[in-house]
Amino acid sequence: MSLFEICGVSQDYGWGPVLQNINFHLTEGGSTGIIGPNGSGKSTLIRVISGLLVPSQGEVRFRGKTVHSYRKKELARQIAVLEQEGTAPLPFTVKEVVAMGRYPWLKPFSELNRQNDLIVEEVLTTLGLWEIQDQSVNTLSGGQRQLVSLARAMAQQPTVLILDEPTTYLDIGHQVLVMQHVRRWRFKKGITVIMVLHDLNLAGQYCDKFLLMEQGHIRACGNATEVMDQEIITSVYGTSLIKINHPVLGVPQFLLT
Q: Choose one of 157, 175, 196: the last residue of a domain.
A: 157
Is 102 found in the same domain as 40? Answer: no
Are residues 206 and 222 located together in one domain of the fold?
Answer: yes
Tell me, what CATH number does 216's domain have?
3.40.50.300
**183 located within any domain:** no
**Mean pLDDT over each residue of the chain, to the nearest integer:** 93
Which residue range forms the structural domain that includes residue 94?
A: 79-157
Residue 172 lies in a domain: no
What is the C-alpha separation between 58 and 39, in angstroms, rounded? 21
Both 83 and 64 in one domain: the answer is: no
Query: Average pLDDT of 10-29?
Result: 92
The answer to the question of residue 192 being in a domain is yes
pLDDT mean over 180-202: 95
Return the beta strands (E) in the chain as ranges. 4-12, 17-26, 31-35, 57-62, 65-66, 79-82, 160-164, 192-196, 209-214, 217-222, 241-245, 252-256
Residue 10: inside a domain: yes
Q: Is residue 235 part of a domain?
A: yes
Last residue of a domain, one of 110, 135, 157: 157
- Report the 10 Å Cβ neighbour count for 80: 24
Q: Are residues 26 and 151 in the same domain?
A: no
Beta-carbon count within 10 A of 40 CB:
23
Count of structural domains, the chain? 2
Residues 137 and 195 occupy one common structural domain: no
Q: Do 71 and 103 reside in the same domain of the chain? A: no
Is pLDDT above 70 for 73? yes
Residue 173 lies in a domain: no
Alpha-carbon distance values, 120 to 73, 153, 166, 184 (Å): 19, 11, 21, 17
- 44, 50, 55, 59 alpha-carbon torsion, rounded to 10°: 130
Same domain, 108 and 41: no
- 112: pLDDT confidence band, cut at 50, 70 and 90? confident
| pLDDT tens-digit map of 130-176 | 999 999 998 988 888 889 999 999 999 999 999 999 988 888 998 99
Residue 253 CB-density burial (10 A; 0-12 exposed, 13-18 middle, 19+ buried): buried
